[in-house]
Structure 1
């Protein structure tokens, strides 16, 4: 092995370690400043470092590889996050959304469109057609903290 080849190998390994260390610093920064963004840049940097260790890539190619991986990883993470917070999760941390479709019995009559019903340990205001106390009703919607009901 000539001196030039040895220096080229050393430069390639130095560049690879630089990318890996930069990736680990970015991943560590994610722990200190959470935002679920730097981790993807860190993973892109580590992957770039591994690619540089395996193949001789000039610095321009390394930069393009890192940028491409960063865009791909951030885009994939964003799409996965959006999929996890779709319309089905709209009721997350909103236990009142679980009342829609539930049947119950009026505690107080509905007079002039307003009455009361008890679900579990909570007394709710309801609005709907005038009905006597003890009438079986179904929750069809929510308006703020008032349940909209109809006769079951």
Structure 2
């Protein structure tokens, strides 16, 4: 049945596939099906020109579609994320990394390598040399949820 539909639609079958993929992107956003749908529409445009050519078999069309899907996806991702590295706030969603270099006063002593500090209304678990309550510390690193500190 699918072969019959493709034969009846001819080159328009690629256009139909491309539009179905673009519509699916609207229902499942993720900016992935857009590129594959674009590749199908490109193959459809070429099919309109080359449909009666002897070399334009379904195998060639499928191979071109696969190559174009990969190429358009890579080019689209590169274009879409072009300025992502050059943010005016590179540590916006990296709260722990934004604290590196700050100084604070220990709220709980560091014993056996662990303690707590209050920064911007949030208690953070810290690791470092044993220090008493009230000691001034400087944050030197983070591993996501724990801060590494030194006396400073």
Root mean square deviation, CA, Å: 3.5
Unaligned runs of 5+ in 2: 1-8, 86-90
The alignment status of 1:71 with 2:65, answered yes or no, reads no
Instruction: Tell me how far 1:74 sits from its aligned partner.
Output: 3.3
- Does the 8 Å CA contact 1:127/1:147 hold for their aligned counterparts? yes
Distance 1:144 1:44 in 2: 40
Greater helix proportion: 1
* Structure with max Cα Rg: 1
Distance 1:108 1:38, change over 3 A: closer
- Does the 8 Å CA contact 1:105/1:137 hold for their aligned counterparts? yes
Aligned match of 1:104 = 104
Instruction: Tell me how far 1:93 sits from its aligned partner.
Output: 4.4
Matched residue pairs, number?
A: 135
Distance 1:35 1:144 in 2: 26
TM-score (normalised: structure 1): 0.64
Distance 1:24 1:105, change over 3 A: same
SS in structure 1 at match of 2:50: coil
Please say which of residues 23-32 and 108-117 is displaced more in the overlay.
Answer: 108-117
* Pick aligned residue for 2:16 from 15, 21, 42: 21
Unaligned runs of 5+ in 1: 1-13
